């Protein structure tokens, strides 16, 4: 029998506070993360999910660590990354945060200039071990496969699931996504329009093949 994999994953958006009552964030629902966690657990793996604020329910058998900001997400993942066989970075980490967080509520005014700075690129900075598989996700409005290829290399990922954001709501929530799967060996597989649960299954097949060194046979 195959050893269960220890899968550490992130899901959902992060919130970067502006003042005590406001934040910047994105439309991520956490649904993709929930599907991945459910699929991994169904295959007998051990799953820890570090997740931002989401409404989607996560499977009861997953260990869940709730966070809010990108920096908290990074801390929670860093503490656990070394023990993971697989790191799945499905969170839509806010790429920017306000440089300053006001301690009192900002009052209405005609114009407000915000200064933002980049959040840490968590996946690139996590401690790794040699046999660990690191999987990223990318969301692009244009040149999806080409941009995804650059990210796979820049972030030293083993796999990357790239999705097209069409401006009309996709790929957020429960709708199907238009996706590509990229591997570190240069393979790009067009998945076309695919449900998130099916995408989770395709991804887990690939991860298991890499971890166990063989193609998974149909269940
Ligand atoms: O936002 P970007 O397209 O760079 O995201 C690609 C991958 O990098 C995703 O897996 C995302 O979770 C991860 N990421 C991260 N830290 C950030 C931004 C993105 O780990 N600050």
Whole-Å CA distances, 102 to 18, 81, 106, 107: 6, 33, 7, 11
Domains and CATH numbers, the chain: 6-99+113-213 (3.40.50.10300)
Higher-confidence residue of 165 and 51: namely: 51
Of all protein residues, the one whose alpha carbon is nearest to atom 13 of ligand 1 is 123
User: Looking at residue 170, what is its pLDDT?
Assistant: 65
Instruction: Residue 38: name the closest of 154, 165, 149, 198 by CA.
Output: 198
Give phi and psi for 90, each to the nearest 5.
Answer: -90, -5
Distance of alpha carbon 108 from alpha carbon 156, whole angstroms: 44
Quick: pLDDT tens for 169-201: 667 888 888 999 999 999 999 999 999 999 999
Share of the chain above pLDDT 90, in %: 89
| Model pLDDT, residue 45 | 98
Tell me how far apart the alpha carbons of residues 16 and 113 are, in angstroms, rounded to a whole number: 16
Over the stretch 95-127, which tens digit does the pLDDT of each residue have?
Answer: 999 999 999 999 999 999 999 999 999 999 999
CA–centroid distance, residue 217 to ligand 1 (Å):
31
Residues with CB under 6 A from ligand 1: 70, 89, 91, 93, 95, 119-123, 136-138, 151, 155
Whole-model pTM? Answer: 0.93
Give the residue with greater pLDDT, 169 vs 33: 33
Distance from the CA of 121 to the center of ligand 1, in angstroms? 6
């Amino acid at each position: 029998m195959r050893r269960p994999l220890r899968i550490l994953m992130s899901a959902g958006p992060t919130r970067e506070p502006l003042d005590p009552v406001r934040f910047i964030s994105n439309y991520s629902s956490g649904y993709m993360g929930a599907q991945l966690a459910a699929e991994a657990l169904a295959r007998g793996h051990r799953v820890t999910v570090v997740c931002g604020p989401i409404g989607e329910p996560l499977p009861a058998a997953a260990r869940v660590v709730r966070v809010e900001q990108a920096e908290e997400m990074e801390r929670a993942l860093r503490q656990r990354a070394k023990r993971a066989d697989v790191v799945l970075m499905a969170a839509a980490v806010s790429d920017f945060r306000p440089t300053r967080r006001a301690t009192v509520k900002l009052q209405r005014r005609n114009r407000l200039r915000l200064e933002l700075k980049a959040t840490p690129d968590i996946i690139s900075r996590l401690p790794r071990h040699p046999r660990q598989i690191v999987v990223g996700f990318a969301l692009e409005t244009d040149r999806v496969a080409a941009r995804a290829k650059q990210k796979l290399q820049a972030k030293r990922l083993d796999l990357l699931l790239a999705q097209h954001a069409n401006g009309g709501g996709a790929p957020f929530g429960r709708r199907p996504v238009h996706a590509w799967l990229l591997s570190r060996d240069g393979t790009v597989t067009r998945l076309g329009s695919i449900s998130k649960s099916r995408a989770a299954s395709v991804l887990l097949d690939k991860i298991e093949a890499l971890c166990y060194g063989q193609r998974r046979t149909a269940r």
